[in-house]
Amino acid sequence: MSRERALVELVNEAGRVVGSTTVAQAHTAPGQLHRAFSVLVLDNSGRLLLQRRSAAKTRFPLRWANACCGHPAPGEPVPDAGTRRLAEELGLTGLALTELGVYVYRAADPQTGLVEHEYDHVLLGRTGVTPALVPDPAEVAGLRWLGAGALPAAVEAEPDSYAPWLLGVARLLVTP
């Protein structure tokens, strides 16, 4: 089944489930608030793994974003969904994820007309070594590591090159 036909949980502003709909319907303008997640991967040098979203993505294609993101199925624990998507998109397994908090945002994609309106659980995975990654080309157009402290300036210099949620989710990151 296409991910666009998969079900997502509709939630209220407090994150309580109020129903479900398909991914495609949740992102049709004006957008419906739904549960999502964004995974940040940080190495011991304080670098964040950034993914350039593939051209095939239905929302914000070819923009740099966090390591991966997606939607848990109704009732699926968010960390389990994040672990699943890391494996599917990047071939990255065995990384423990912890939740940093929630970032709620709404962003319309001027290229596709679709809308992100997400109750976004931000997950963090720390890695001691640079992991071997096997990105799925249907999902990922490129990967790079960037110092977490350099991210705001990079986004400010080229805002249209980055996903609109990236700075919001990265602000929940507290580096050691």
Residue 43 lies in a domain: yes
Q: Count helices and strands (H / E) in the chain.
A: 4, 9
Give the residue numbers annotated as catalytic, written as ranges: 69, 118
What CATH number is attached to the domain comprising 149?
Answer: 3.90.79.10
**Integer Cα distance of 117 and 115 in angstroms:** 6
Residue 175 lies in a domain: no
Q: Domain range for residue 103?
A: 3-170
Residue range 10-52, pLDDT digits in tens: 999 999 999 999 999 999 999 999 999 999 999 989 999 999 9
- Counting the structural domains of the chain, the total is 1
Residue range 124-147, pLDDT digits in tens: 999 987 778 999 999 999 999 999
3-state class of 63 per DSSP?
coil
Residue 19 lies in a domain: yes
pLDDT for 175 equals 47
- pTM reported for the whole predicted model: 0.94
